[in-house]
A and B are shown apart, each in its own frame.
Chain A
Amino acid sequence: MTMPYYASPEQLMRDRSEYARKGISRGRSVAVLTYSDGVLFIAENPSSTLHKVGELYDRIGFAAVGRYSEFESLRVAGVRLADVRGYSYNRRDVTGRVIANAYAQTLGEIFTQQTKPFEVELCVAEVGERPENDQLYRLTFDGSIVDEPDFVVMGGQADAVTGHLRENFHSGMGLSDALEVGVRALSAVSPVTSGATNGGPTRLTAAQLEVAVLDRRRPKRAFRRVVGVALRTLLGDESPAPDAREAEPHAEGHHAPSVPEPGTPPGLGDPANPDTAGGAEPEPQD
């Protein structure tokens, strides 16, 4: 027999917030930074298949921290919304704002109406034609939505990472500089590097990172994962042997804009872009 009880709405909301915050703070952090050619996602994620970063649409990417099953279902919902909207209107009518709003509403509803809130924090990022048009929306478990300039940090020790980035980040950095700053900020708080003072590793390596970019120079689908040799080279992990020197221009060439399909009718997409795939991009072989 349960006791009838009364809890004030304030108390209920406080409890839920605390619950969600605890869940999120257990996870590792994700940083989303703008750079000169787009948006860079860096996640500390040892898994190469359970992604924290994903593609939503042509110019829109997604990053999340927290409980995987929960943010994965939100990611799928975002892909569905984007594709249904793009199919029934036009590809240009899919914007980050529409998707971020849907996330905010959904998270807010779940937070107020269900006993257990989602333990997730999301970022919806969109690249524009020019750097000033890039958008980063940060969404929290209670459905709050914030439009952030420059960068968004989520997860375990977001405050410490944010502090680190405030000191070192400046807008308009190149890709390798932005990656360097982001990885240093994540490394500073990561449990993996906590033994650095005792001779442990001081920086996260390519195997512990999930990195992707939204590159505005790419003609249609801007999202690209940076994996394998390309990532190691960008991080400077690869010894500067002759083959690594070659790998650098190769990595650059990999996301150089390919030629847009001439004469494709406006209603039809042109996915004829060899290295377009969201997650299936074959690692460059060398």
Chain B
Amino acid sequence: MNESSAGRSGFPRAYLDRVGSSFTDFLATTAPDLLPGRRPVPTLPVGDIAPHGTTIVAVTYEGGVLMGGDRRATMGNLISSRDIEKVYPADSYSVIGIAGAAGIAIEMVRLYQVELEHYEKIEGLTMSLDGKANRLAAMIRGNLGAALQGLAVVPLFAGFDLDAAPGTAPGRIFSYDVTGGNYEERGYAAVGSGSLFAKNSLKKTWRSDLPADAATRTVVEALYDAADDDSATGGPDPVRRLYPIVYRVDTEGAVRLTEAEVAAVADTIVTERAEADRQNMPREATQQGGRP
């Protein structure tokens, strides 16, 4: 923003002109350099030098929707962050999780949060859930050029639909592709490098009528399974007390589960897996060196 554009000589014309409710559209006319999609696209692939976020999982349950993400970001073969946060509240009733180039993705989340709040303040109303999903699609579409150079951003969006017809599930999940394609998912969805394994896990554990705590377990378990097989997904880390981030969105709004809640779920899963593993592998075998 130009410092002289506000303060010394009042509002520039554009501020008082047409009443539009979109913050992104407004920036496009007044400060396009602030928009992630308006910068020169790198001419060479740069994916390996930019940190990438990995697995995000979302599931619906009887009272709304849950979204969880692991804590790892990778840069090529390196772990660039063990405690990155990749799930954020978008507004009071929706959450967004991001996989892909972390720098661009976090900038996009910030812009998206302001976009929703800006609309709310100007219109005096909250945007519909489908409207929110579409605004996000437009943002992803603007990033296609960078995506082709290895800086793709693929979000997962979920929210509680305040306008849901009675009898229909209020929790809804939307997934995206790099071209800005917007797809509503049924029941559960995952994005990022570990999404294949996470979805396989959810396929077995998720049911549509789960209560919140059981659904939370399916989310954490799916992330555990993803971390088991995907090197770019981080598992629960009891040494550093780092556990997945899980948000729940229900009639009360978006709430982040406390670290203690998620840790309890993760510890239960780890204990159960260890127990199952001991039963499958007799003690004698492991003491004598295990399998060849």
Contact = CB atoms under 8 A, between A and B. Distances in A.
Contacts of A102: 6-7, 10-11
A108 B6 contact: no
B7 A98 contact: yes
Contact of A83 (B118, B126, B247, B254): B118
A72 B254 CA distance: 31
A274 B252 contact: yes
Contacts of A277: 92, 120, 126
Interface hub of B7, B27, B90, B113 (most chain A Cβ within 10 A)? B7
Contacts of B111: 87
Interface in A101-115: 101-109
Nearest to B19: A76
B252 A105 contact: no
A84 B15 CA distance: 11
Interface string A186-209: 000000000000000000000000
Interface residues of B, number: 48
B124 A271 contact: no
B16 interface: yes
A265 B125 CA distance: 27
Given A105-B7, A108-B10, A272-B255, A88 B1 contact: yes
Given A105-B7, A270-B89, A277-B126, A54 B121 contact: yes
Contacts of A264: 85, 88
Interface string B1-18: 100001111110001100
A108 B8 CA distance: 12
Contacts of B6: 81, 84-85, 98, 102
B91 interface: yes
Contacts of B90: 271
Given A77-B16, A262-B259, A273 B253 contact: yes
A263 interface: yes
Residue from A72, A83, A98, A108 whose CB has the most chain B CB atoms within 10 Å: A83
Contacts of A101: 7
B124 A51 contact: yes
A257 interface: no
A182 to B, nearest CB: 23
Nearest to A50: B124
B102 to A, nearest CB: 12
Contacts of A54: 121, 124
A274 B106 CA distance: 23
Please name the 6 residue pairs, one residue from A and one from B, whose CB atoms are nearest each other, closest first. Answer: A274-B253, A279-B124, A105-B10, A106-B10, A272-B89, A77-B15
Given A77-B11, A102-B11, A274-B255, 4 more contacts: A74-B16, A81-B6, A102-B10, A108-B10
Interface of A: 49, 51, 54-56, 72-74, 76-77, 79-81, 83-88, 98, 101-109, 221, 261-265, 267-280, 282
23 contacts: A54-B121, A77-B16, A79-B118, A80-B26, A83-B118, A87-B34, A87-B111, A88-B34, A98-B6, A98-B7, A101-B7, A102-B7, A104-B10, A105-B10, A105-B11, A268-B110, A269-B117, A271-B89, A272-B256, A274-B92, A274-B252, A275-B253, A282-B162
